[in-house]
Amino acid sequence: MREAGFNVRLLSAGPFVTMIDRFAVAPVLIPIALEFRASVGAVAIAATAYYFAYGLAQPFWGFASDRAGRIRIIRISLAATAAACALTALAPNLDFLIGARILAGASVCAVLPSALVYIGDMIPFKVRHAVIADVLAAVAIGTAAGSLGGGFFAHYFSWRLTFVVVALLAAVLAISMGRLPESNAPPSTGGPIAQLRQAVHRPWARFLILFAIPEGAMVLGFLVYFAPALESTGTNPALAGLVVATYGAAVLAGTRVVKRFASSTPAWVPIIIGGAKGSAGSLAAALDQHAVAILLASVLIGGCYAIFHSTMQAWATDIAPEVRGTAAALFVTSAFTGGGIGTGLGAFFAQAHQYRSLFLLAAALSLPVVVIAALTRARYPGSVLAEQVEEVAGS
């Protein structure tokens, strides 16, 4: 059962803000390139560096949350995010901007994983996916707000304004989340090395953490080029942001669907359904880069995130319950490392305006990822410790 004081709406506000920061970048790559008189490929380094920083900083935050508490780490992360976004908004040149985005990625990365781990501490595994769907609904709205806000502000005012808004929201939330109770998970013992060994002790944990690299490349790595691909056809940033924002609407709709059937359907089923949407979305973007095709691709990839990726995230909260924060952090590290690899690889195609080849590569990657994910999740026996924890919680 849920602990007293558990407030999923307040908890969801943190991931909402982080998604604005993350998805505001795609529609402003070209406006930033124009202001700093740089190539799109050079500006895309900021997005790539953000992903790598987001992933590589995860173990630090995971170790810290296992020892200091989930809510405390979320609040520290939001405060650091506020500072990083303020620096992004003030960036006088591209090098400064890249540095600010690295700091933002390393700061903001603790919020969503820690929120999911917090849910893992507070909610039994059998009904956990439905609660995670509520948080992912806020992620969807933040995603749409980031795409819309980034494109709108860049076209009518300045691309910097979005990051000012994120800085203010993050600062307010860093204070407001003090009302949430800490989770009931006992602090981990031993140093970071001991926590790391516990996190990767089980074969299933090692598999899922490594598998998150290609899974992250598929789900997170290529989406950032939807808006630039559309803008390359002559579409303005505001309209491109609006089209790509349908990704957020699709995530929101997908989370509502997942919430209804997650507890009664084998997990490999949403993996196949969501994975098929991801493959179809990449193919749609490869066939044409105008508004209708990119809109369809955004909707399909949004469905993939809500149905496929959320299932993988829920799985990651179960692989090592005794060091849940560390294990989930390692999963996210791998996923965003994969996302960074995909984004970095995509920059070479984007620089040459070879968007068709870029999205065909994404489609080709998705097929084996989905098949392997479905087969392995069907064989996963579940965590014995998780079952013991649930029995204690229910007693």
Sequence-ordered alpha helix ranges (H) in 288-354: 291-304, 310-316, 324-351
Residue 293 has what pLDDT? 92
- Tell me how far CA of residue 113 lies from CA of 7, 16, 65, 74, 325, in angstroms: 17, 13, 10, 9, 8
Grade residue 334 by pLDDT with cuts at 50, 70 and 90. confident
Give pLDDT tens digits for 11-44: 889 999 988 888 787 778 778 888 888 887 788 7
Grade residue 370 by pLDDT with cuts at 50, 70 and 90. very high
Average pLDDT over residues 243-256: 80
Residue 147 has what pLDDT? 78
How many structural domains comprise the chain?
1
**Do the domain assignments include residue 3?**
no
**Do the domain assignments include residue 50?**
yes
Residue 347 has what pLDDT? 80
Report whether 383 contacts 318 (CB < 8 A).
yes
**Per-residue pLDDT at 63 exceeds 90:** no
**Do the domain assignments include residue 147?**
yes
Report whether 168 contacts 338 (CB < 8 A).
no
Give pLDDT tens digits for 133-191: 778 778 878 878 887 888 888 888 888 988 999 999 999 999 999 888 887 665 555 66
Q: Which amino acid belongs to residue 346?
A: G
From CA 235, how far away is CA 89, in angstroms rounded? 24
Report whether 52 contacts 340 (CB < 8 A).
yes
Average pLDDT over residues 284-312: 90
**Per-residue pLDDT at 1 exceeds 60:** no
From CA 334, how far away is CA 4, in angstroms rounded? 33
From CA 218, how far away is CA 342, in angstroms rounded? 8
Interior/surface letters 235-268, b for 16+ CB within 10 angstroms, e for the rest:
bbbbbbbbbbbbbbbbbbbbbebbbeebeeeebb
Instruction: Take residue 19 and report the two structure tokens written for it.
Output: 């998604």
Structural domain boundaries, residue 98: 8-181+189-394
Q: What is the percent of the chain where pLDDT is above 90?
A: 27
Task: Give the number of residues written for the chain.
Answer: 395
Residue 248 has what pLDDT? 77
CATH number, domain of 67, equals 1.20.1250.20
CB-count exposure of residue 285 (10 Å: 0-12, 13-18, 19+): buried
**Per-residue pLDDT at 279 exceeds 80:** yes
Q: Which residue from 259, 186, 182 is spatially nearest to 4, judged by alpha carbons? A: 182
**Do the domain assignments include residue 2?**
no
**Do the domain assignments include residue 374?**
yes
**pTM here?**
0.69
**Do the domain assignments include residue 1?**
no
**Per-residue pLDDT at 89 exceeds 80:** yes
Work out the angle at residue 150's Cα, subtended by the Cα atoms of residues 42 and 84, and round it to the nearest 5 degrees: 70
Residue 295 has what pLDDT? 92
**Do the domain assignments include residue 214?**
yes
Q: How far apart are the first and last CA of the chain?
A: 10
Residue 80 has what pLDDT? 94
From CA 92, how far away is CA 74, in angstroms rounded? 29
From CA 380, how far away is CA 125, in angstroms rounded? 14
CB-count exposure of residue 380 (10 Å: 0-12, 13-18, 19+): middle
Interior/surface letters 138-162, b for 16+ CB within 10 angstroms, e for the rest:
bbbbbbbbbbbbbbbbbbeeebbbb
The sign of the dihedral angle between the CA atoms of 45, 46, 49, 55 is: negative
The sign of the dihedral angle between the CA atoms of 237, 238, 243, 247 is: positive
**Per-residue pLDDT at 372 exceeds 60:** yes
**Do the domain assignments include residue 343?**
yes
